[in-house]
Structure 1
Amino acid sequence: MHTHILALDPDFGAQLGRGIGAIALYAIIGLVLILAGFYAIDWTTPGKLSDLVRTGKPNAVLVTSAGLVSMAFIIVVAITSSASDLTAGLITSLVYGLIGIIVQVAAVRILEWATRIDIGEMIQSEKYSPASAVVASAHVALGLVVAVAIS
């Protein structure tokens, strides 16, 4: 009968520690970028977005949710595209995330102009507006485009 002893690489503890540190750092950058994206949308949209979301305005909730998902796409791809180098991964996640925020805010303003959708009025409405699905889809689509451009 053979007995096998599980042996870990002598460097296993250090690797595990680096991995946990990387997760924490990426989580912090992700949170900062998602908050920055939220406040960029809030700053460029009439009305106080956080109040609109908190009070359950359906269009504000939908558009904000799509913007957050879009930022997550960008951050995830930035992380995976430079996963072998932690410092480069953190920097590219931050830079690409900031570019993604700028692109999203600009694109939503262009969409508003092109479609004549009054996004400020729409997100403040108590009633669901199908146009909010168009704005939300634009957020997700742009997030995917920026994410793919990163990879």
Structure 2
Amino acid sequence: MLESLGYALAYTGVGLVMLYAGFLALDLLTPGKLSHRIWRDHSMNAAVVLSAGTLGLGGIVFTAIWTNAESGFGDALWWTIVFGLVGVALQAVAFVLLDLVTPGKLGDMVTERAFAPGTLVVAASQLAVSLIVIASIA
């Protein structure tokens, strides 16, 4: 039982680090401090995009743990880190690529306070990239 608790703590720690890495990546891609845009400025756009990215990365971490658990704790933890970082990187790449093919600056739109429909496209792209990574793991 204590061994399982240790695994849970280790996986949760890695998962939280991956979620934080995703937050930092999005923060770098948007103007200003993302946390201020959401909690102080009440930007629904930023909250929607961050939520989609977080859910997607959570799915990646879950799938990496679930599919690699039988390979042993060390291997499974390693693959969780690898796939988590791949997910963060590919979400960032998708954001940049979407920014290149859409008018204006995506980072500016995402941090506006007034709702912008393009935010849903960005959120969907974050989830779609995560689903692709999840499919590659499974």
TM-score range normalised by the length of the shorter chain: over 0.9
User: Is the 1:47–1:120 contact (alpha carbons within 8 Å) kept by the matching residues of 2?
Assistant: no
Please tell me whether Structure 1 or Structure 2 has the larger radius of gyration of its CA atoms.
1
Instruction: Report how far residue 117 of structure 1 moved.
Output: 5.0
Task: Give the one of 69, 74, 82 matched to 2:55.
Answer: 69
Q: Does 1:46 align with 2:34?
A: no
Q: Does 1:29 align with 2:14?
A: yes
Identity across aligned pairs (percent)? 33
Instruction: Report how far residue 124 of structure 1 moved.
Output: 2.4
User: Is the 2:29–2:107 contact (alpha carbons within 8 Å) kept by the matching residues of 1?
Assistant: no
Instruction: Report how far residue 25 of structure 1 moved.
Output: 0.4
Q: Which has the higher helix share?
A: 2
Instruction: Report how far residue 121 of structure 1 moved.
Output: 1.6
AA at the equivalent of 1:59: N
Query: SS state of the match for residue 136, structure 1?
Result: helix
Q: Normalized against structure 2, the TM-score is what?
A: 0.94
Uncovered stretches (5+) of structure 1, i.e. residues with no partner? 1-15
In 2, the alpha carbon distance for the partners of 1:108 and 1:122 equals 12
Between the two proteins, the alignment pairs up a number of residues equal to 136
AA at the equivalent of 1:74: I
In 1, the alpha carbon distance for the partners of 2:21 and 2:9 equals 18
Q: Structure with the greater relative contact order (CA < 8 A, sep ≥ 6): 1 or 2?
A: 2
AA at the equivalent of 1:80: W
Instruction: Report how far residue 46 of structure 1 moved.
Output: 2.0
| Gap change, CA 1:136 and 1:117, over 3 Å in 2 | farther
RMSD: 1.1
AA at the equivalent of 1:47: G
Instruction: Report how far residue 141 of structure 1 moved.
Output: 0.7
Q: Normalized against structure 1, the TM-score is what?
A: 0.86
Uncovered stretches (5+) of structure 2, i.e. residues with no partner? none
